[in-house]
Amino acid sequence: GGNKVRKLCLVAAEARACGADTLITVGGVQSNHMRATASAATRLGMRCVLVANGTRPEPPRANALLDALLGAELHYVSSRDERAPTMQALAARMRSEGRSPYEVPLGASTPLGAAAFALAVGELLAQLPRGVVPDVIVHASSSGGTQAGLTAGCALHGLPTRVIGISADDPASSIETVVRGIISGLGAMIGVDGDTLARGVQVTVDDSFVGEGYTVPTAASREAQSLAARTEALFVDHTYTAKALAALIAYVRDGQFRAADTIVFWHTGGQVGLFT
């Protein structure tokens, strides 16, 4: 959940500044984001309420186990579409009881969450050798906040870098729309014309590596996972990062990059998913 932690550094800070006593969010049963939110709430002395689509796992494993160990209050719904309305209803009930919940949308993919990744582009530039600029950044994309932040961050730093999001689930057109919406909101938040910023960037999403669906491994993701572990001691999960790495490997094999290109694979976390 590395990318979720980065977003929550700003989002949870805002919740605390607003006087919230509870973080409430949504996701799948094995959501990295929900586990990261529960961890943040614990560190900040807040309650955490999670709304997951699916059924309670018995026994709980991986992220579901960590959610329970962190003391999060879990609510289960049958579909993705029920998550946000259920979160809103629970938050309204808590307010009526005198509590102060802070609602964190799926993946903390808000303009504020994306701002954390716009800042991360500056960190990346500071870590690269002087004069080196990434030609391409490849990463896993789903709820759009990470891609929005990286894309906006590159634009705001005046970089020619192409950011390629590899979809974990949704169609490319759907993710692109969400990403542009978040970029627009981010622009407005930092005092620039958000719509102009969103229109002026290239948003590239590749949905050809999803395979049979979210969380379902593919032959390419299995190969990528094994290659990364055995050559770099780097662990990637089949929900997100293994499919993103599989795409990068395919691009290299297809000759889509030049030998002189600087390619960054942005590992977004998720290793806990290996233990499901």
- Same domain for 146 and 244, yes or no, is yes
Total domains in the chain come to 2
Domain span holding position 228: 111-275
Sign of the CA dihedral 215, 217, 221, 226?
Answer: positive
- 19 and 59: one domain? yes
Q: Can you give the pTM of this predicted structure? A: 0.96
What CATH number is associated with residue 180? 3.40.50.1100
The reply to whether 118 and 225 lie within a common domain is yes
- Say how many CA atoms lie within 13 Å of 168 toward its Cβ: 21
User: Do both 156 and 117 map to the same domain?
Assistant: yes
Q: Are residues 218 and 123 in the same domain?
A: yes
- 31 catalytic residue (yes or no): yes
Residue pLDDT, tens place only, 160-209: 999 999 999 999 999 999 999 999 999 999 999 999 999 999 999 999 99
Catalytic residue among 31, 39, 141, 221: 31
Are 66 and 130 in the same domain?
no
The per-residue pLDDT for range 5-35, each reduced to its tens digit, is 999 999 999 999 999 999 999 999 999 999 9
Considering the domain architecture, whether residues 119 and 51 belong to the same structural domain is answered as no
Verify that 90 and 6 share a domain, yes or no: yes
Per-residue pLDDT tens over the stretch 132-161: 999 999 999 999 999 999 999 999 999 999
Measured CA to CA, the distance from residue 124 to residue 94 in angstroms comes to 40
Q: Which residues of 22-34 are buried (b: 16+ CB within 10 A; e: fewer)?
A: bbbbbbbbbbbbb
169 and 213 housed in the same domain: yes
Distance CA 142, CA 58 (A): 27
In this predicted structure, what is the pLDDT of residue 1? Answer: 58
194 and 231 both lie in a single domain: yes
